[in-house]
Structure 1
Amino acid sequence: MSLVTKLRSERAEANTKLQALATKESGGATLSAEELQEFSQLEQQIADLSAKIARAESAERAAAAAAVPLNESAAGINGPPGNRPAHITVTDNAQAGTRVAQMARMIAAAGGNQMQAAELARSSGMGEDVVMALSTTSPGAGGVLVPANMAREVIESLRPTSILRSFGARPLPLVNGNMGLPRIKGNTTVGYIGMDTDINVTGMVFDDLKLQAKKLAALVPISNDLLKFSGVSPQVDAIVVADLFTSTGLYEDITFIRSNGNGGVSPKGLRYWAPAFNIVTAPAGTSLAELDAFLGGLMLRVEMASANLAASGWIMSPRSIRFLQALRDGNGNKAYPEIEQGKLKGYPFKLSTQIPINLGAGGDESEIYFGDYSDCYIGETGEMVLAYSTEASYKDGNGDTISAFQRDQTLVRVITHNDFGPRHVESIAVGVGVKWGKDMLA
């Protein structure tokens, strides 16, 4: 308790006693000599306390005026923060790509009106970055340009769904849509020489990996019932994000693995980058010795090319790995027990349904890929454009034409540009004519 408060409490107590005596006298009673003496003492006490209170208040005002800030370094954990700026860390736990999904939803909900989409985003409580992106980006004939930082979220999030990205294929920026990577095609001649012998003069032979931006378009159908939830709905955003990532990642797989380039329209895949001497036909038999030699041969071709093997592994159809998983040696033991840990002959494997199992004349063949994927490059422009339509049609996985209008859907079109290629084609080996496991689906 401060001194001023204590003195005021004592003065209030003395005043209560004084008022009691005054009330008694005003009621017609006569005060005794002792009571008169007490009344005089109380008057003097109240006067003294009032003087003390005045002096104490004056001292407090002077102390406050002359106060100096404390040394905050010695304030301790419970000390006042003073003028020290607050350090606040905000962690955004939203799924990567959510902001792009929110932009897509708002554009679709606003019927393509970008300014209305920005107002919808603001009124729905979405992040200021989404509102600003919709407000400041100029719409073009092809749609709304997604800011580079948001587009990068989507591209980086394709890593788990795209096999080659998850294996470690390296992304590169395509400046003005083009990128050239020199590679060594032939080495210099090095050797020991004797006295008075000429040194062989040779030079390295170089070639280029040329990446050129090729248009990748994804169509994401969104139910109009979902668009009715115009507020911030993590569940709705997650559905849009999942559809976008899955469709884009799967199409990247089928393109980067098996595309023939389609006359330069799409990137060329591993199957058509691999040199002829690295394409091996699987044996007709299915004995352990034959299969092991075949798999080892694929590995050996990459190893003999002096590949770094920094991010090597297998890519195959689920049918192929399930057959190898069930394969037994002469003692009844699993031939490749490490498959349970996600490896085959010491290297990780990844499965893709984008590798067909209906190839060949009989419609029952598949393929197996082994390579050093750190030597593969994905060129990207880093740009993404969104557009929408409620009247357009699209084809489903079976090739059937679906009307978005008839299904009460809104189609969101996402367009980006990329290209793919290995720097050294010798770092890729492909096994073809793989019929193992065809009876498993009979």
Structure 2
Amino acid sequence: MKKKFHLMDVNELRQEREHALERMDVLIERAGKERRFFSPHEAAEFDQLEATVNEIDQELASREAKRTVDPALLPQVGDHQRGTSMGGPLERSNGLLAPEQRLADITPPPAGASTVGLGQFLRGVFTGAWDAETRALGIGTPSAGGYLVPEPLAVQIIDLARAQARVIQAGARTVRMDSATLTLPKLTRDPVPSWIAEHATVTESDPEFGSVQLEAKTLAVLVKVSRQLIEDARPEVEPILRNAFAQSLSLGLDKAALYGAGTATEPRGIVNTSGIVVYDMGTDGAALTDYKPLLQAYQLVLANNHTPTAAILAPRTLVEIESLTDSTGQPLQPPAILRDLRMLPTTQVPTDLTHGTATNASDVFMADFANLVIGVRTQMQVLPLQELFAANLQVGFVAYLRADIALIRPGAFAVIRGIIPPA
């Protein structure tokens, strides 16, 4: 029976969407580990789950489109706490997209264009045999930089990568870049109100505005696929291929958002952005013995008039937190303000960082992640590596897109540095 999504509130819709995506990941992972295609039953289930996600996305987009917030405005304290987002109307170019919104909703396919699957496209890149459907889209001839992926297909992969990226799950927003650079406004100082007597002059306190510049940089990934899989390019392999590309891109976005060096070729990540707040575990690091470091980081964000939406951390650190015990050996219960905070583990947070004499340190990122913006160009290119992996009957595909990352308000980000494992 079809669910009545229009009767659900936003949180219920997001939970339903997350459950569907988790089940899709289970199906893909199972088939991938067993090196087989979907069974007819699995294929039908995957299609139904994908349809459910699309319906929920459409419902969320429809609700978002009714909002009148200008997408150029910045996130304000408390907005995410009410279950709303600052994405702005989807019809607007360069609108900031909330995590649940899709680039596909603001990137309609060209009029009359057919839908080309990733398997079809990669088979054409690999064999040079393009069918009528793909030729109609004008692909089959590489440019100097590779084969240009049809935009509707590229956007599907980017949206799937966004869905898997931890920083997006934590609340980071996305903006489509229609050129190599994009300037976003940011509020650098809030206006200060004051109480006044009757007929008294109001004290002037103007807000200060600045800007943040996004400059598209190249993110490249290498995906190896068996030659038989590409030559067959059956419909069942589409989700597996999409997920392989998207997962690689999502890891690259996470790594850059957290640790990017801010060079000419790499975005500037959180740890290398001035203005963030840091809680240090000590000269040579220290193990977590209670929730105090997490509470201190939470307080640092609150002190800058923001409320953390999530914490991103290494899997090792998450297990250490879950293993905390009290004096009687019983599991240590987290304080109330941390109980509902999402803890998102990722291997993109290292556990071999140097902190003083320690060489096994790690970090925790706690922030209002709505203040992190990822700018993405929707053009994506693919280059085949025909011979490099031929001995293993594989073909490599180098896929790359252009993106950049910026923090609108650095004070919304706290990093706990120097967490080492218990002795």
The C-alpha deviation readout for 1:300-331, integer Å capped at 9, x for no partner, is 1111222255xx11111111111111111124
> Who is 2:320 aligned against?
323
Q: Report the CA distance between 1:412 and its aligned residue.
A: 1.1
Shift of 1:414: 1.1
Alignment of 1:3-402 (within 5 A): 93=47, 99-110=117-128, 116=129, 118-119=130-131, 128=133, 130=134, 132-133=136-137, 135-136=138-139, 139-194=142-197, 199-229=202-232, 232-235=234-237, 237-261=238-262, 263-273=263-273, 275=275, 278-282=277-281, 286=287, 288=289, 291-307=290-306, 309=308, 312-336=309-333, 344-360=338-354, 361-391=357-387
Amino acid in the other structure paired with 1:279: V
Q: CA RMSD in A?
A: 3.0
Distance 1:214 1:285, change over 3 A: closer
Q: 1:417 aligns with which of 374, 387, 402?
A: 402
Which has the higher mean CA deviation after the structures are superposed, 266-275 or 292-301?
Answer: 266-275
Q: Percent identity?
A: 20
Secondary structure, counterpart of 2:293 in structure 1: helix
How far, CA to CA, are the matches of 1:300 and 1:416 in structure 2?
37
CA distance in 2, matches of 1:287, 1:238: 40
Structure 2 Cα separation of the partners of residues 281 and 369 of structure 1: 12
Tell whether the 8 Å contact from 2:171 to 2:368 is kept in structure 1 after alignment. no
Aligned-pair CA distance for 1:279: 1.0
Map of 1:42 onto structure 2 = none
CA distance, structure 2, for counterparts of residue 257 and residue 182 of structure 1: 22
Contact 1:325 1:336 in 2 (8 A): no
Structure 2: runs of 5 or more not aligned: 1-44, 55-114
Is 1:298–1:431's contact at 8 Å kept on the other side of the alignment?
yes
Question: Which AA in structure 2 matches 1:142?
Answer: G
Q: For 1:323-360, what per-residue CA distance to the aligned partner results, in whole angstroms no more than 9, with x for missing partners?
A: 11111112433113799xxx953201110111111111
Map Cα deviations across residues 27-86 of structure 1 (whole Å, 9 max, x no partner): xxxxxxxxxxxxxxxxxxxxxxxxxxxxxxxxxxxxxxxxxxxxxxxxxxxxxxxxxxxx
Contact 2:139 2:147 in 1 (8 A): no
> 2:291 is matched by which residue type in structure 1?
D
- In 2 relative to 1, CA 98–132 (structure 1 residues): closer, same or farther, beyond 3 Å? closer
Offset of 1:404 from its aligned partner? 2.3
After TM superposition, give the deviation of residue 207 of structure 1 in Å.
1.7
Give the alignment's TM-score, normalised by structure 1.
0.63
The residue identity in structure 2 corresponding to 1:141 is: A
Change (3 A) 1:233 1:203: closer
1:419 shift after superposition: 0.9
Helix, strand or coil at the partner of 2:47: coil
**Bigger CA radius of gyration:** 1
Q: Which structure has greater helix proportion?
A: 1
Q: Is the 8 A contact 2:366 2:414 kept in 1?
A: yes
Q: How far has the Cα of 1:174 moved from its partner?
A: 1.1
Question: 1:247: how far off?
Answer: 1.5
Partners of 2:373 and 2:268 lie apart in 1 by 12
The alignment partner of 2:358 has SS state of coil
Q: 1:338 to 1:190 in 2, by over 3 A?
A: closer
The answer to whether the 8 Å contact 1:98/1:238 transfers is no
Length-normalised TM-score, structure 2 = 0.66
Q: Tell me by how many angstroms 1:105 deviates.
A: 2.6
Structure 1: gaps spanning 5 or more residues: 1-90, 111-115, 123-127, 392-402
Name the amino acid aligned to 2:270: L
Whole-angstrom distance in 2 between the partners of 1:376 and 1:416: 19
Q: Contact 1:325 / 1:337 at 8 angstroms: preserved in 2? A: no
Task: Indicate if the aligned counterparts of 1:274 and 1:430 stay in contact, CA closer than 8 A.
Answer: no
CA distance in 2, matches of 1:293, 1:432: 14
Q: How far apart in 1 are the matches of 2:368 and 2:292?
A: 20
Does the Cα contact within 8 Å between 2:286 and 2:418 map onto a contact in 1? no
Distance (Å, rounded) in 1 between the aligned partners of 2:408 and 2:288 = 35
Q: Note closer, same or farther for the CA distance 1:92–1:141 as it changes in structure 2 (3 Å cut).
A: farther
